[in-house]
Structure 1
């Protein structure tokens, strides 16, 4: 995209285009009204609202941009068919949109794409091609196929019609909560935050629009800090939906002009946020979708109205189980320790009584004489227990010390 085109788009009436997109989408969207979170509000000192796009058609916000773009194609473009590259959510949005509009589609997906997203995409009738380890490699392959076969390319984020479709998320937030102060948005290539920023700054410039990226994929933050588009050498994050090494030209320029900042979160922040969302709201989200909730603790504001866009919920059962377990460890809800016990009767009972006295629930217990410091005199006991937090763990440790047990905390 040339700089002139970018500048022309920046002087366009974005509100009009986003409202038109909203009209286009009425026939395919599911309503995702804001959910007020008492838990997150109390935990972080702001009035926190969740925009649950994980409950959207295809399980993410991506249907918005994809359908708006494909709906606006010419007859000739529709006839040739379309192609897209995606780690999953854009793929499903494109596939369903193409199916509803009767257009053949091909989707190129990277190897890291969860099986649930691959199968979901196929279920909408698209041809799926697996290529590359990250989105950027899939993108290059899809561009090659586009030129070779004559397909119309539907970009995941660096396209104005796609951006306007994503911007309807922001329009709905503002229409539902007029006194919104801040909107937190996951950032991969930048399409979602660009659309939300365009409508927010058009309707109420005082609204802060802040992006959130994982430490292992600081794509937009790196570019904004350097003052030019930068490409990361690699992405290392469980949030595969935002695992993009390079932002788009259009999205970078919009973010540079309208986005108020980017918050960095760790993998630990994400797993904790996921655990709390599941436990307190009974909602499932993928790690890329959970980024805004993970960023709440890092906001330097209090008593403000904050909307968190939970952008998607397409995650397989094995992954969600693993992430929840990590979240339990991170929140000190699981305590694992080892202790060398004298090889005499009654020692295991003492440990059991200490744990029972403070209502720590034993999940797993293992004796192993060969792991002990002195395997001829001692037996090593490894215990995993369910706890209520760090204070509870410290209480257990102190009681063990009083009974002269020297424990080694594993996690």
Structure 2
């Protein structure tokens, strides 16, 4: 099975006018943050919130009239599901989606809202795929892989054409890898338009399936990752065969890297990214020396993140930056003590967010108490200033 640049150009014509051409913009703030010249393609601005629309629509438009009547089934953590559901609904094609347990509610609700039948089955993508295959065999559906399909790869490659047209001087593209459909299609397109461009993939440390396969090692995948969109235990055979020769390196990122990527895209670029969608920025943050001074394009693949999870990530980043700091203080338990501590914190500009008393810890005297005081600070230096002010007033700070 092969996909050529001509196939991608044909896909572009096929889907024209039915999928948004998302913007590609230079980011001054992210460039200052990373030391690279960063261009972002905002595929979170698609109607269904991710890049998946191009591939899903291209594949649906290649179905025969008889296949359209039978309908399609797919396994997806959410973005392929929503894209398939939306365009299937537009085209009058019945869509059934199998999603793994733990899929974010925003993706489940979004898929159902587009009219698809949603089945929750399997602890992970592999379990959902097995159930989708069973439904295919039982009900006669056409199985549409999220990535291991030439039509999908060709459709995703349209992203690469758009990227190269809108930022023609790029030295490198950084693209998240789950099943590999996006990076394979984009690599084919980008290399056809500029043979010397460098292609880098990004994987979550819990799911390094593509890089493990490249190294000839068994893939050890599993666990809960914020980058659930690329939590795939095995890259597709078709995209791996197509993309592997064109990819210079696959960069593995930790959970904290993805969290920082989500937070910085929200606070600096003023845009919402899901965990996998922030993979390109995560790689720039984790491997700054690899890209410093280069003109780099990062594909912001999607923005479908639960509001609760987004809030958690933003607050965790405040903790990392010590803009939210907990001071654990052992003190007498007497009237006015909390007011006195609050006065010290307030005098140096700290804002108390929360207070927890612990009178039952056995290493605390019976007439004492342990106070956990959460304080909003300006930065790490300010956090140290508040801590020192408390110590200067005789309060014993303990490790939190």
Instruction: Decide which of 15, 37, 54 is 1:64's aligned counterpart.
Output: 54
Conservation of the 8 A alpha-carbon contact between 2:172 and 2:200: yes
1:283-322 equivalent positions in 2, closer than 5 A: 283-297=271-285, 298-299=287-288, 300-322=290-312
**How far off its partner does 1:76 sit?**
2.4
TM-score normalised to structure 2 length: 0.94
Is 1:248 the equivalent of 2:243? no
Instruction: Decide which of 326, 329, 334 is 1:336's aligned counterpart.
Output: 326
RMSD: 1.9
Partner Cα separation in structure 1 for residue 392 and residue 241 of structure 2: 62
1:166-185 equivalent positions in 2, closer than 5 A: 166-185=156-175
1:366-385 equivalent positions in 2, closer than 5 A: 366-371=356-361, 373-385=363-375
TM-score normalised to structure 1 length: 0.91
Is 1:193 the equivalent of 2:183? yes
Instruction: Decide which of 116, 119, 137 is 2:106's aligned counterpart.
Output: 116
Partner Cα separation in structure 2 for residue 393 and residue 294 of structure 1: 26
Conservation of the 8 A alpha-carbon contact between 2:364 and 2:370: no
Closer, same or farther in 2 for the Cα pair 1:340/1:157, shift >3 Å? same
CA offsets per residue over residues 153-189 of structure 1, 9 Å max, x none? 1110011110111111111111001101121111111
Query: Which has the larger displacement, 392-401 or 117-126?
Result: 392-401
Q: Give the 3-state SS of the residue equivalent to 1:226 in structure 2.
A: coil
Partner Cα separation in structure 1 for residue 141 and residue 163 of structure 2: 35
Instruction: Decide which of 43, 56, 81 is 1:91's aligned counterpart.
Output: 81
**How far off its partner does 1:358 sit?**
3.3
**How far off its partner does 1:347 sit?**
4.1
Corresponding residue for residue 386 of structure 2: 396
Partner Cα separation in structure 2 for residue 262 and residue 361 of structure 1: 43
Corresponding residue for residue 252 of structure 2: 264
Q: Give the 3-state SS of the residue equivalent to 2:276 in structure 1.
A: coil
Q: Give the 3-state SS of the residue equivalent to 1:216 in structure 2.
A: coil
Is 1:214 the equivalent of 2:204? yes
**How far off its partner does 1:325 sit?**
1.7
Conservation of the 8 A alpha-carbon contact between 1:235 and 1:245: no
Is 1:277 the equivalent of 2:265? yes
Q: Give the 3-state SS of the residue equivalent to 2:303 in structure 1.
A: coil
**How far off its partner does 1:152 sit?**
1.3
Query: Which has the larger displacement, 25-34 or 125-134?
Result: 25-34
Partner Cα separation in structure 1 for residue 299 and residue 332 of structure 2: 54
Query: Which has the larger displacement, 144-153 or 230-239?
Result: 230-239
Partner Cα separation in structure 1 for residue 265 and residue 310 of structure 2: 12
Partner Cα separation in structure 2 for residue 173 and residue 318 of structure 1: 31
Aligned length: 398
Corresponding residue for residue 36 of structure 1: 26
Corresponding residue for residue 317 of structure 2: 327
Closer, same or farther in 2 for the Cα pair 1:276/1:409, shift >3 Å? farther
CA offsets per residue over residues 108-137 of structure 1, 9 Å max, x none? 111121222112112222211111011111
Partner Cα separation in structure 2 for residue 389 and residue 265 of structure 1: 26
Conservation of the 8 A alpha-carbon contact between 1:268 and 1:330: no
Q: Gaps spanning 5+ residues in structure 1: where?
A: none
